[in-house]
Amino acid sequence: MAEPRVKATRRNLSTSIADDLLFQIKSGQLPPGSKVPGEKDLMAHYGVGRNTVREAVQSLVTMGYLDVRPRVGARVTSVPIDEAVEATTISALLAGDAVGDIYELRRVLETEIAERAAIEATPEDLEAIAAALEDYNRAHRDGRGAYRADVAFHSAVAVASHNVAFRNVLEGVGDLLLNARQLTDHLPGAVSLAAEEHADIARAVEQRDPERARHAMKVHMQTSVEAWKRAQRLFSEK
């Protein structure tokens, strides 16, 4: 195996290893059908324990990049067509110098939206947010691309703010970031973390806690920016 591109930290060992393996798959170093080194080799290569290696491998299995079978080990599999990242999507993200600025706008906008939603949401709004949250979680469980469900969840929170201007601006921003959202779906651990953060936002809005809702959304927006930066690094080195 090639030397690890990223030195894993204690906080995100399995994610860093999964990112490195995903890069090797995307770059053709591990083509479809090739066998991934065994657990002991990966443990020695990355200097980590067995559980960390298993978590990294399992995240890629869940995403459809690896297939693991008893006595055979892990092999690279073909990514389903509907889950593949198209070249146009990658190009749009990498060429979009303004994406970072748009994410900054979204951070400011959506924290205000979440705070207002915690004050203004009706029972019907809360039902819509809960339904959108479940749709996102279902997409995650089924291994489908969750980026459209992500857009729907944030839209439901915006509707609950009962501010038409907020909603319209967010819709326009969401369209501009659709490619970036699709690409970050393919980062190990990104969708599961977003699901947890969505749940925190929904809970704060339901409990009518504006300060907590604002904080939960701020955390989620920061996570989104970090995921976009990870995707840029990963796919720009293909």
DSSP H stretches of helix in the chain: 13-26, 39-46, 50-62, 87-95, 99-120, 123-141, 147-160, 164-176, 178-184, 190-206, 210-236
- Are 41 and 111 members of one domain? no
The letter for the amino acid at 207 is Q
Does residue 1 belong to any structural domain of this protein?
Answer: no
CATH of the domain at 48: 1.10.10.10
- pTM (2 d.p.): 0.63
- Are 100 and 120 members of one domain? yes
CA 30, CA 115: separation in Å to the nearest integer?
A: 46
Which among 41-45, 62-66, 128-132, 137-141 has the top mean pLDDT? 128-132
- Are 125 and 22 members of one domain? no
pLDDT at 136: 93
pLDDT at 11: 42
pLDDT of residue 195 exceeding 90: yes
- Are 190 and 128 members of one domain? yes
- Are 23 and 115 members of one domain? no
Does residue 98 belong to any structural domain of this protein?
Answer: yes
Judged by DSSP in three states, 17 sits in helix
Which domain-ending residue is among 34, 56, 79? 79
Which domain-ending residue is among 79, 98, 122? 79
- Are 204 and 118 members of one domain? yes
- Are 177 and 228 members of one domain? yes
What radius of gyration, in Å, describes the C-alpha atoms of the chain? Answer: 19
Query: What DSSP element (H or E) covers 68?
Result: strand 66-69
CB atoms within 10 A of CB 111: 19
Token pair belonging to 171 = 């819709």
Does residue 153 belong to any structural domain of this protein?
Answer: yes
- Are 117 and 164 members of one domain? yes
48 vs 96, 148, 193, CA distance in Å? 36, 35, 22
Mean pLDDT of the chain: 81
- Are 123 and 215 members of one domain? yes
CATH of the domain at 204: 1.20.120.530
Which domain-ending residue is among 51, 79, 107? 79
CA 88, CA 222: separation in Å to the nearest integer?
A: 25
Query: Number of structural domains, the chain?
Result: 2
pLDDT in tens, 133-192: 999 999 888 767 788 899 899 999 999 999 999 988 888 777 667 667 777 777 888 888
- Are 67 and 172 members of one domain? no
pLDDT of residue 222 exceeding 80: yes
pLDDT in tens, 68-102: 887 778 988 865 444 444 444 444 554 455 677 78
Q: Contact 115/157 with Cβ under 8 angstroms?
A: no
Average pLDDT over every residue of 221-234: 83
Does residue 62 belong to any structural domain of this protein?
Answer: yes
pLDDT at 4: 52
Does residue 4 belong to any structural domain of this protein?
Answer: no
The letter for the amino acid at 173 is V
Give the model's confidence band at 129: pLDDT under 50 very low, under 70 low, under 90 confident, else very high: very high
CA 173, CA 150: separation in Å to the nearest integer?
A: 13
| Enclosing domain of residue 35 | 13-79
Average pLDDT over every residue of 188-201: 92
Does residue 5 belong to any structural domain of this protein?
Answer: no
- Among the listed residues 220, 217, 225, the one whose alpha carbon sits nearest the alpha carbon of residue 112: 217
- Are 224 and 114 members of one domain? yes
Give the model's confidence band at 64: pLDDT under 50 very low, under 70 low, under 90 confident, else very high: confident
34 vs 45, 88, 92, CA distance in Å? 18, 26, 30
pLDDT at 120: 96
- Are 48 and 129 members of one domain? no
pLDDT at 175: 65
CB atoms within 10 A of CB 112: 15
pLDDT in tens, 12-46: 678 788 878 887 887 778 888 889 999 999 999 88
Does residue 7 belong to any structural domain of this protein?
Answer: no
pLDDT at 232: 74
Does residue 70 belong to any structural domain of this protein?
Answer: yes
The rounded percent of the chain whose pLDDT value lies above 90 is 33
Range in 2-11, 50-59, 97-106, 153-162 with the lowest mean pLDDT: 2-11
pLDDT at 7: 47
